[in-house]
């Protein structure tokens, strides 16, 4: 099979997409359903149509671009990722899997292969939790992991619901119709940057994911008593920020002392009210992001947070309310998809590392409805979700090539 990736075109498309952003380069910001996101979608759809793919968008804004196989009735093989980017992010997270997936399909078309199973490129809606507080809304709805009713009610920072926002962005239709029927996909493979340092440290250019960590996130609101920074003596205080500080350190300690390096806890947002230098914080809102490849360990950190909240409210006279945003199970990657990826690496003589994904991905939810796997490429210093995120052109092209080989195998293509 004469399969070649057009590296020059792939990289140029990646650079072009990076310019469709709400941030000053090299940062990229692309929040779901914003005008910038809609421009990026339109640009991607035009590239898919140029490749002769049949494109549709569903009610939550997932883009599904299909290369029809010889047996149109057979389950398709899916690939893809996301193009939404958190504020002040990089240009590779998600995009490598979308443009790399598109180039893999084009390379298969150029090679003359005819897939038996259709191959479908997915651009998932809102993989990042930035706007609606919960990530992977598109793949949760496709897989039925989140009900349409629960999704419609989610609100953004301005209090607008998913339903209002999506309709204003031009996505009508019923969210109930997003869920794919059982057996829609024969397999799903996602190409993604590692978002960690292991591949670079081990000088390996490809990673085959064995397991995707289980993410949980919650919002915590702490109400104390404000007051004058001079007039209120320490024994009389109910300082919401000092309570938050103890809770944050308790979460960090629980993750560090779980007995495994895979347990992580992050407080990414901390809002202090009233936020004046000489006023005791009366209200603090924080977010907690807790993950582990092992569900029981992840949940024990969640319990520690709950117990600490209880004892802190008694000790400090504050009230602590938690809102669980998500608590998902981990995913095992499917043997047959891992085999298609490892066979492709071996066929090309590419070394690879079997590894865990500590970031979550849409593959976490696609694994609920289809045999799923992920292929990682290195990113410099493991940096991601920051403007200096970087993946080398030859690594991106190699990832797309292995993806193409795996898609050919999974779609039982013939010459
Ligand atoms: O947070 C994550 O793991 C993903 O990058 N959204
Ligand atoms: Mn991300
Ligand atoms: Mn991502």
The 3-state secondary structure of 231-255, one letter per residue: CCCHHHCECHHHHHHHHHHHHHHHH
129 CA closest ligand 1 atom index: 6
CB-side neighbour CA atoms (13 Å) of 251: 26
93 CA closest ligand 1 atom index: 5
**340 and 287 housed in the same domain:** no
Closest-CA residue, ligand 1 atom 6, reads: 128
State the Cα–Cα distance between residues 362 and 379, nearest whole angstrom: 19
**135 and 221 housed in the same domain:** no
Element of type H or E holding 333 = none
Q: Does some domain include residue 1?
A: no
CATH number at residue 262: 3.30.70.360
Say if CB 110 and CB 93 are below 8 A apart: no
Residue 225 DSSP code = B
Classified as helix, coil or strand, 368 is: coil
Residues 52-101 pLDDT 10s? 999 999 999 999 999 999 999 999 999 999 999 999 999 999 999 999 99
**191 and 93 housed in the same domain:** yes
195 CA closest ligand 1 atom index: 5
The set of protein residues with a Cβ atom below 6 angstroms from ligand 1 is 127-128, 135, 359-360
Give the per-residue pLDDT at 409.
Answer: 97
Residues 277-313 pLDDT 10s? 999 999 999 999 999 999 999 999 999 999 999 999 9
Is pLDDT at 415 greater than 60 in this prediction? no
Residues 148-171 pLDDT 10s? 999 999 999 999 999 999 999 999
> Could you tell me the residue range of the domain that residue 286 belongs to?
214-327
Is pLDDT at 412 greater than 90 in this prediction? no
Give the per-residue pLDDT at 182.
Answer: 86
Kindly state the tokens that stand for 126: 């809102």
Closest-CA residue, ligand 1 atom 5, reads: 359
Q: How far is the CA of 283 from the centre of ligand 2 (A)?
A: 29
Number of separate domains in the chain? 2
State the Cα–Cα distance between residues 104 and 406, nearest whole angstrom: 10
Q: How far is the CA of 193 from the centre of ligand 2 (A)?
A: 10
Give the per-residue pLDDT at 203.
Answer: 97
Give the per-residue pLDDT at 103.
Answer: 98
Say if CB 106 and CB 404 are below 8 A apart: no
Give the per-residue pLDDT at 413.
Answer: 65
Kindly state the tokens that stand for 295: 């569900």
Residues 95-132 pLDDT 10s? 999 999 999 999 999 999 999 999 999 999 999 999 99
What is the average pLDDT score of the chain?
97
For 176-190, what is the mean pLDDT?
A: 96
Among residues 48, 96, 80, the alpha carbon closest in space to that of 185 is found at 80
User: pTM higher than 0.85, yes or no?
Assistant: yes
Give the per-residue pLDDT at 119.
Answer: 98
Phi-psi region of 112 (alpha: psi -120 to 50; beta: other; left: phi over 0): left
Q: How far is the CA of 57 from the centre of ligand 3 (A)?
A: 20
Closest-CA residue, ligand 1 atom 3, reads: 359
**222 and 284 housed in the same domain:** yes
pLDDT class of 1 with cuts at 50, 70, 90:
confident
Q: How far is the CA of 362 from the centre of ligand 2 (A)?
A: 10
Q: How far is the CA of 87 from the centre of ligand 2 (A)?
A: 10
Give the per-residue pLDDT at 2.
Answer: 87
215 CA closest ligand 1 atom index: 3
């Amino acid at each position: 099979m004469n399969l070649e990736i057009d590296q020059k075109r792939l990289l140029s498309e990646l650079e072009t997409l990076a310019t469709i952003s709400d941030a000053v380069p090299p940062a990229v910001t692309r929040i779901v359903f914003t005008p910038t996101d809609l421009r990026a979608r339109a640009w991607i759809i035009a590239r898919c149509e140029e490749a002769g793919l049949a494109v549709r968008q569903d009610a939550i804004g997932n883009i599904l671009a299909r290369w029809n196989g010889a047996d149109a009735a057979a389950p398709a093989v899916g690939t893809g990722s996301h193009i939404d980017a958190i504020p002040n992010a990089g240009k590779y997270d998600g995009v490598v899997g979308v443009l790399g997936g598109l180039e893999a399909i084009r390379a298969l078309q150029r090679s003359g292969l005819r897939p038996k199973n259709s191959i479908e490129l997915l651009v998932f809606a809102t993989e990042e939790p930035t706007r609606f507080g919960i990530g992977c809304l598109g793949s949760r709805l496709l897989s039925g992991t989140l009900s349409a009713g629960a999704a419609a009610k989610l609100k953004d920072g301005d209090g607008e619901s998913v339903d209002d926002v999506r309709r204003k962005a031009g996505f009508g239709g019923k969210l109930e119709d997003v869920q794919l029927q059982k057996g829609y996909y024969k397999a799903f493979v996602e190409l993604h940057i590692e978002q960690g340092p292991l591949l670079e440290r081990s000088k390996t250019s490809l990673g085959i994911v064995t397991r995707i960590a289980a993410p949980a996130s919650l919002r915590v609101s702490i109400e104390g008593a404000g007051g004058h920074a001079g007039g209120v003596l320490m024994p009389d205080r109910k300082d919401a920020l000092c309570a938050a500080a103890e809770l944050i350190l308790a979460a960090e300690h629980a993750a560090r002392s779980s007995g495994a390096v895979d347990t992580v806890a992050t407080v990414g947002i901390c809002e202090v009210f009233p936020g004046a230098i000489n006023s005791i914080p009366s209200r603090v809102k924080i977010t907690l992001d807790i993950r582990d490849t092992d569900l029981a360990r992840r949940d024990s950190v969640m319990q520690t947070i709950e117990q600490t909240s209880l004892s802190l409210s008694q000790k400090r006279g504050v009230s602590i309310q938690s809102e669980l945003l998500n608590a998902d199970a981990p995913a095992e990657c499917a043997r047959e998809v891992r085999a298609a990826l490892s066979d492709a690496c071996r066929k090309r003589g590419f070394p690879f590392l079997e590894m865990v994904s500590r970031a979550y991905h849409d593959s976490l939810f696609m694994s609920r409805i289809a045999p799923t796997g992920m292929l990682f490429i290195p990113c410099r210093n493991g940096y991601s979700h920051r403007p200096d995120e970087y993946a080398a052109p030859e690594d991106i092209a190699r990832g797309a090539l292995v993806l193409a080989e795996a898609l050919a195998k999974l779609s039982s293509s013939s010459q």
